[in-house]
């Protein structure tokens, strides 16, 4: 039975296939709303400390990021815009070809897709990405960056878990089909 399951993995239903797109829509909505609020209420490079006592570790700083996630590789925005289109296409294809019962991987794909498209919208709309969450010594980021990073971590964990599950199933199959060893009676003979 295990061999049959491995040879014919379960097919994903439409609910599973739609899950990444629902998550993508939620990420896009949250990302674009928060960026809009920052862009319309805080001047570029302006700072707002919602909790003054924590300003050294958390504040809102309106910045224009022409690089990648967390402000890395400044000035390469259009390269990352093109990369976002390729990644989005790969995520959609992977989701549609993924077998069933891969919920965690689909959630991860939705997070990554929403984050990539959120930052892509910024690049196409204004030539840079609006970043605003300043967490002290770390880079300044936005919700799209958080979704991408969370999606990558979740994908890695889910993929690792799936590999371990497949290895355990393979070992169980090998043990079940292994020929029985010759067993001799080890009781003392009179």
Give the residue numbers marked as catalytic.
131, 145
The SS3 assignment for 105 reads helix
Q: Compute, in degrees rounded to 10, the torsion defined by CA atoms 60, 51, 27, 164.
A: 110
CA distance 116 to 48: 26
CA distance 49 to 118: 24
CA distance 157 to 2: 23
Phi, psi (deg, nearest 5) at residue 9: -65, 155
CB-neighbour burial class of residue 21 (10 A; exposed 0-12, middle 13-18, buried 19+): middle
């Amino acid at each position: 039975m295990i061999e049959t399951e491995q040879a014919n993995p379960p097919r994903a239903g439409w609910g599973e296939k739609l899950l990444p797109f629902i998550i993508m829509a939620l990420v896009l909505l949250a990302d674009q709303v928060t960026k809009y609020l920052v862009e319309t209420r805080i001047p570029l490079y302006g700072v707002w400390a919602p909790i003054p006592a924590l300003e050294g570790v958390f504040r809102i700083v309106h910045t224009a990021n022409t690089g990648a996630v967390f402000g890395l590789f400044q000035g390469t925005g259009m390269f990352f815009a093109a990369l976002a289109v390729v990644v989005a296409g790969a995520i959609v294809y992977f989701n549609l070809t993924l077998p069933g019962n891969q919920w965690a991987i689909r959630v991860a794909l939705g997070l990554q897709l929403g984050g990539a498209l959120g930052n892509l919208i910024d690049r196409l709309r204004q030539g840079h990405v609006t970043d605003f969450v300043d967490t002290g010594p770390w880079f300044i980021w936005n919700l799209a960056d958080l979704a991408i990073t969370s999606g990558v971590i979740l994908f890695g964990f889910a993929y690792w878990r799936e590999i371990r599950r497949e290895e355990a199933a393979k070992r169980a199959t090998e043990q079940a089909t292994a020929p029985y060893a010759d067993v001799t009676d080890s009781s003392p003979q009179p």
